[in-house]
Amino acid sequence: MNNFNLDFEKIIINSKNILFIQDIDGVCIELVKDPMTRKLESKFIFAVKNLEKEFFVLTCGEHEGPRGVNRIVERSLKSIDQPKEKGLYLRGLAACGVEYQDSNGNISFEGVSKEEMDFLAKVPDLIRPNFEKIVRNIFPNIDQEEINSHASKSICKTRFSPTINFNSLFDLVKDDSEKRKIIQKSFKDMMNDIIYKAKAQGLINSFFLHISPNLGIKDGNEIIKLSNKNDIGSTDIQLLIKGAVKDSGVLFLLNKFIFDTTGKAPFGRNFNFRDSPKSIIEKVNFCKKYIKSKDMPTIIGIGDTVTSQKNTNNGYSRGGSDRSFLEFIQLLGEEFESNNKIIFVDSSSGEVCRPSTKITGLEGISDDQDNLKFDMVFQGGPKEYISWFIEFAKKRSELKT
């Protein structure tokens, strides 16, 4: 662990109200090529329970379904009944802000129409024939059995965020970054075609493509991070409901947290991601209008997917699916003087190749001109973060009792 502020833990552990808002994959779960093999340490689950209402997850993955985090929790605890009965599911938002779950596994998803849900359900079947065409074009000698195997790993049939994942196909090209680029570009075009199909069915303003990791946004679209020799680049593309972005998720979780602690929801009881202002500045002003300073907790934002890449104009393209919500939390801390803290977990030690803070510092992640600053960096990745978190949750729990 480096970049450690000595007052960090003292400030947050002694704050009256704290709120952890934490990503999942790459933070408390090692990154793996096949999402079905993800593992979560049971001690972490019980540490989250110790924090009770002071912890939320905020992930682009999903809670429910065969690939959902709930299945990982159940495998970790070796029980289907225990998580529901004892409230051990990870409370918070999934699908980047659409799918809310309490600790007993009760799900809600306000703001989504039946027409949108019906279309999302068809997306994996729309992907499948195009997947085969693209794979045969790139790998002309591949047989049907192998295509089927890669399709089952690559096409994620998730309820709110159908996804195409490249990691299985990347294994076929090894270190050939040019072929990885062809895979990335081909599937981006395919996913854009699905957006056009949605528009043709009257869902003109319903969906967008979330690319992870990305290099920020241009003309309203996320910029794909193309592979090079040192960085695998973007590994998956999700079709998400428009407005489902993590910084809007922070507003939803703040609203819920303040209701839990004060009995009053500053944005109203029915607030959801579709009610959120668009820009981060507008979101900050929205909070200043409706949230009293005394009700604002010290927020600890934790993520692993943050990018910064030098461009041809000697500036930087900055993105990553965790950047916007971490920047928002940092800005809220400044505006409300609430001592908010930002934690970065280095997820490069998993199966997915990413820039490593151990090897190149923050190169590829941040830069000297970056407004986003990390208060703590866990170079040892999820294992190191989990160890710290378990100990912190224990101390916080003892302090409250």
Angle between helices 323-336 and 246-262 (to 10 degrees): 50
C-beta separation of 179 from 137 below 8 A: no
- 118 φ/ψ sector (left φ>0, alpha ψ -120 to 50, else beta): alpha
pLDDT bin (cut points 50, 70, 90) of residue 6 is low
Mean pLDDT, residues 91-106: 97
Q: What is the pLDDT of residue 182?
A: 98
Beta-sheet pairing, 214-218 with 163-165:
unpaired
Q: What is the pLDDT of residue 2?
A: 52
Q: 12-43 b/e with 16+ CB inside 10 Å = b?
A: beebebbbbbbbbbbbbbbbbbebeebebbee
Give CA separation, 106 vs 3, 32, 90, 352, in Å: 38, 27, 11, 32
Nearest Cα neighbor of 89 from 79, 103, 72 is 103
pLDDT over 80 at 244, yes or no: yes
pLDDT over 70 at 4, yes or no: no
pLDDT, tens only, 310-360: 887 878 999 999 999 999 999 999 999 999 999 999 999 888 888 999 999
Continuous segment of H or E residues that includes residue 333: helix 323-336
Residue percentage of the chain with pLDDT more than 70: 99
C-beta separation of 11 from 381 below 8 A: no
* Domain residue spans of the chain: 11-57+245-400, 114-159+161-241
Q: What is the pLDDT of residue 191?
A: 98
Contacts of 74 (CB under 8 A, 6+ apart): 80, 83
pTM greater than 0.85: yes
CA trace torsion 65, 66, 69, 71 (10° rounding): 110
Q: What is the pLDDT of residue 261?
A: 96
Is 11-57+245-400 CATH 3.40.50? yes
pLDDT bin (cut points 50, 70, 90) of residue 34 is confident
pLDDT over 60 at 297, yes or no: yes
Q: What is the DSSP string of 239-296?
A: EEETT--HHHHHHHHHHHHHHHHHS--TT-TT--GGGS-SSHHHHHHHHHHH--GGG-
Beta-sheet pairing, 307-310 with 316-319:
antiparallel
Question: How many Cβ atoms are within 10 Å of 89's Cβ, its own excluded?
Answer: 26
pLDDT over 60 at 5, yes or no: no
pLDDT, tens only, 248-274: 999 999 999 999 999 999 999 999 999
